[in-house]
Structure 1
């Protein structure tokens, strides 16, 4: 049996969501199955996707809080039950969702007496709060609580080191305002578990991968799985496009040999799926091109492929040279689209 016959005889694995529940706004759970898989494949996929889900999926956190007339984080404001440190810990627990990259700003301006919750945070349109009932502070007198917040989107964890931090060193710490860093746990995925079920089918051992995902509501488990899968594809694109060069500068994989490699039989479709799902900020576009595309609400390669040369030329501040840069990118990844034939 040749390679093509093997590919035809294999069943394409199918992903199914077999269970999904939301116990509260900050607890989302889903269980997925992927099958059929050959022996050993389930563990390879499960281990890789678990690591990416826990470490590479992006989330949004409050990373700075600026108070006025405060000397240190253990200070107490008369009329507020919580210390500054306790307020910072409460801000750390707030779960946010943002569709925009870069630093965003929020604020709290509340006059007491009042119970201050996450609902009292004023945010830009690109950021929203998952659980607006989360407690921040109790004001029991007629005083004002005024806090400026810095919000960032990132991945993993940032542990602030107070020994190396001086609030007055911050660029935006002015007058009597002190800025305090907040440890950031960006990861929206709280836990991942996978298990494998083996069974005998068609004269061979096959496997089913069971994948359980818990999130804090910043992303739904299905969204987190999609992002993790996209990231995993991005990791392997350099291998997919790699060519080994000889010492004389020529490629050791000649044109007549390359098409016979099994991985290259699926390279075109794989590259299309991978690039379609990529965001434009993951590409090597110049700053000018990136800013123009973002202002035109072009966020992914899939969005970009809907634009013809004429459509791109109509985008404000996107000149002919920039359009050539975009079209060259499309030609390099060898993706054909109705709007941009290459």
Structure 2
């Protein structure tokens, strides 16, 4: 459709507005407007913009007013990326959505050159970047580099988390050894300690460790030394600290030659 006194159709005016390149560092919707009186040519320079937005090429044509008419329109501007399609909204009469192409990078060329002396070889990457002015080539390279880093960071973090998990696993998982060697040492002891007559109550263990052993039906030293460290770690709420406390207690109160640091924290 056309408007009396204007050379271009509404569709042509919308296409001209679509070609205007804007520059801004802020996101969100910004309001702008055009209000002029003909006859005259209307260019991007006639757009009244907020301070946070600037026009790259102010000579971009918008419309040609042939008669003495008022031309007033309101614009809504927002920053986006890629190709964005606007659906026609019926909530406000007289509004015309514009499909925007937010692709500031027009073209990119690259070349790689080898250099160096002897066995030392180096490669130099040359980049040529053309933009529409809404971003400088340097800003476009920075933005692309940051997006690329953000794309691969989850993989790096996953690998670091896996490595940390393996490290902690190796650090805290008890060795799958048994108390059998200690049991043998006790039997060989000259004093002949009756293991089935030594109750865990006598070891003066912390109440938490004591309750864990009781729940597992471990009542005597014989019951305790019949278990492997793996068996103990399966007990509900039993942890490495409990194992270390038990081992320290045995080492302190019983006359036997115990290996050192079997439980590592």
- TM-score of the superposition, structure 1-length normalised? 0.46
Unaligned runs of 5+ in 2: 172-265
Residue 152 of structure 1: aligned partner: 78
Deviation beyond 3 Å, 4+ runs, structure 1? 199-202, 243-246, 253-257
- CA distance in 2: counterparts of 1:213 and 1:167, whole angstroms: 37
Offset, 1:240 = 3.2
- CA distance in 2: counterparts of 1:213 and 1:86, whole angstroms: 30
- Correspondence list, 1:36-115, <5 A: 75-115=1-41
Residue 165 of structure 2: aligned partner: 251
Q: Which has the larger radius of gyration?
A: 2
Offset, 1:226 = 1.8
- Correspondence list, 1:112-127, <5 A: 112-127=38-53
- CA distance in 1: counterparts of 2:167 and 2:37, whole angstroms: 71
Offset, 1:88 = 0.4
From 114, 124, 148, the equivalent of 1:232 is 148
Indicate the structure with greater helix content: 2
Indicate the structure with greater strand content: 1
Deviations 1:203-243 (A, max 9, x none): 15432211110011111111211222222222233233334
- CA distance in 2: counterparts of 1:83 and 1:114, whole angstroms: 16
Number of equivalent positions: 170
Offset, 1:129 = 0.6
- CA distance in 2: counterparts of 1:123 and 1:142, whole angstroms: 24
- Correspondence list, 1:217-296, <5 A: 217-242=133-158, 243-244=160-161, 251-254=165-168
Deviations 1:277-333 (A, max 9, x none): xxxxxxxxxxxxxxxxxxxxxxxxxxxxxxxxxxxxxxxxxxxxxxxxxxxxxxxxx
- CA distance in 2: counterparts of 1:253 and 1:187, whole angstroms: 45
Residue 61 of structure 2: aligned partner: 135
Question: What is the CA RMSD across the aligned residues, in angstroms?
Answer: 2.4
Residue 101 of structure 2: aligned partner: 185
Offset, 1:197 = 1.9
8 A Cα contact 1:116 1:138, kept in partner: yes
Unaligned runs of 5+ in 1: 1-74, 258-342
In structure 2, do the counterparts of structure 1 residues 244 and 94 end up closer, same or farther at CA, with 3 Å as the change threshold?
same
- TM-score of the superposition, structure 2-length normalised? 0.58
- CA distance in 2: counterparts of 1:141 and 1:253, whole angstroms: 80
In structure 2, do the counterparts of structure 1 residues 155 and 202 end up closer, same or farther at CA, with 3 Å as the change threshold?
farther
In structure 2, do the counterparts of structure 1 residues 245 and 234 end up closer, same or farther at CA, with 3 Å as the change threshold?
closer
- RCO comparison, higher one (Cα < 8 Å, 6+): 1
8 A Cα contact 2:107 2:131, kept in partner: yes
In structure 2, do the counterparts of structure 1 residues 239 and 79 end up closer, same or farther at CA, with 3 Å as the change threshold?
same
Offset, 1:99 = 1.6
Deviations 1:189-214 (A, max 9, x none): 11111122234534154322111100
Offset, 1:92 = 0.5
Offset, 1:167 = 3.7
Residue 215 of structure 1 pairs with residue 131 of structure 2: yes
